[in-house]
Amino acid sequence: MSNEVFDIEKFDGSENLFIAASAGTGKTYTIQQVVGKLVAQGMNLNQILIVTYTEKAAGELKDRIRKKIEDLFKKDSENINLQQALHDVQGAPIGTIHSFCQKITQEFAYETDVPLKQELIDDSAVEELSEVQR
């Protein structure tokens, strides 16, 4: 694990990036900077996978990324990549780890030998289910 400070100017978009840090350290800010840079340079927003732990965090990321792309587009309204990203942001692959895993297991149900129909449930539903089975 590295403690070096992230510098968006030195970021190489050809490499994967994993960000892990405690609350309030700027993870969301860093992610929106990275996504903005990648999109402005020509990467399709649908090619960038962003996963987090909670629905609230995923929603916040989506909102902040939309705002970042809007800000970049105001400065460079000729950039068709930014224009496309504004159109695509609502359906962009930004979600929870659980929703990502569900999507993958559904997409590869035959290969992974899991049921075709799956449903994500929250912790309270798991507790209710386990009480019923007792």
Domain ranges of the chain: 8-132
Helices then strands, each counted (H, E), the chain: 6, 2
Residue 108 pLDDT greater than 90, yes or no: no
Amino acid at 20: A
Structure tokens at 18: 């994993």
Coil, helix or strand at residue 50? strand
Per-residue model confidence as pLDDT tens digits over 37-96: 999 989 999 999 999 888 898 999 999 999 999 999 999 989 999 999 999 998 899 999
| Host H or E run for residue 104 | helix 97-107
Domain 8-132 adopts which CATH fold? Rossmann fold (3.40.50)
